[in-house]
Copies of this chain bind each other. A is one copy, B any other.
Amino acid sequence: MSGHIGHALCVQIFGESHGAALGATLDGLPAGFRVDLPALEAFLQRRTAHRGGELATGRRESDKPRILSGLKDGVTTGQPITAIFENADTHSADYAFLPDRPRPGHADYPAMVKSAGYDDLRGGGYHSGRLTLAYAFAGGLALQYLAAQGVRIASHALMIGGVTDTPVDPLTPDMDALQACRTFPVPTLDATAGERMRQAILAAKAAEDSVGGVAEVVATGLPAGLGAPFFDGVEAVAAAHFFSIPAVKGVAFGAGFAAANMRGSAYNDPYTVADHRVVTIKNDAGGLLGGLTDGMPVVARVAFRPTPSIGLAQQTVSLTAMEETTLTVQGRHDPCIVVRALPVVEGALALALCDLWLGRHGDAPAEATDAD
């Protein structure tokens, strides 16, 4: 089992990169919620290769969901919601090096071992970043549901190719600015940083190489007390979602690894009262104390390794000959996946928070609610 996650709100994904279609089922969203389908499709378009343009793979898919179930007249029925995405533009011939010569940095080799050779690795198969399209469909629904509860989630590219954007203000993040920069070639708060990131990506592409980066994601409007200590804590649940995104190698909340180098007197966020609410006067905890939201913005950082499929010749092995050999990958690949991954990261956080939200509030429908 590998394609299922969640307790109160469950996601099941399926499909292979070069199979017939991929898709996702989201099970647990209450009845009576009106989905904004154009907004959902626009959300998914943020991770298309079209949107990536010169910064992305040349593979061209519509990435338009065909929703099979769970909605009636655009409103949730309370039953499982499934969407599929047909695969159209596949070049399986580009993967003739498989299964013999696994790509360094990619799941090819362990997937071969795990499946005794039976996995379908063309285009990365089930391991492909393409599966995040299905996952993002589920995430987009969770985002809309949370938005109707007053929770807003947004993200930006904090670092790509060594270029760093202005971090969000963890106390009063500028959500409008984050939302506005979505249309930039590289979404950043500081447009010049974004332009330099774009140049870094193009430079890597020109060198037939790739770069990684860090996404920063923020959620506002959460009440205090969501989550739980230990295994159903926001950190544990959200990290499980983040690390499910292929290519993620690090996750941190609030001050994150920097918190490890602070003293308690500097790290602890002092409380005060504002507008009859308990708030903190800074937010190094990233809105999370021991698994629980404290009512301040939740801030997380997600580190992506560079794309493993590069044009440069790489040292690998021939599994049939069991000897070293060289591999030059010909297929179409992203020189950097961080930009296209931003909606995936937002959706991952939304799925984690929405799962905990529904566990707290149940799935009984109120009056019909709208996404907006």
Contacts and interface: CB of A to CB of B under 8 A. Distances in A.
A315 interface: yes
A358 B360 CA distance: 9
Interface string A242-275: 1110111111111111011111110111111100
B252 A249 contact: yes
A206 interface: no
Interface residues of A, number: 163
Contact of A127 (B80, B229, B366): B229
B223 A231 contact: no
Contacts of A109: 224, 271, 278, 289, 294
B268 A308 contact: yes
A55 interface: no
A106 interface: yes
A151 to B, nearest CB: 16
Nearest to A245: B230
A3 B104 contact: no
Contacts of A104: 268-271, 280
- Most B CB atoms within 10 A — which of A229, A232, A317? A229
A240 interface: yes
A257 to B, nearest CB: 4
A227 to B, nearest CB: 8
A36 interface: no
Contacts of A285: 105, 249, 305
A186 interface: no
Contacts of A161: 261
Contact of A110 (B248, B259, B295, B366): B295
A interface majority secondary structure? mixed
A42 interface: no
Contact of A305 (B84, B103, B255, B281): B255
A260 B210 CA distance: 11
Interface in A357-372: 358-368
A176 interface: no
A257 B303 contact: yes
Nearest to A313: B265
A346 interface: no
A66 interface: yes
A2 B259 CA distance: 25
Nearest to A269: B104
Given A69-B21, A368-B118, A306 B162 contact: no
A145 to B, nearest CB: 14
Given A106-B289, A308-B264, A68 B31 contact: no
A360 B360 contact: no
B31 A3 contact: no
A183 interface: no
B8 A1 contact: yes
Interface string A13-29: 11110011111010110
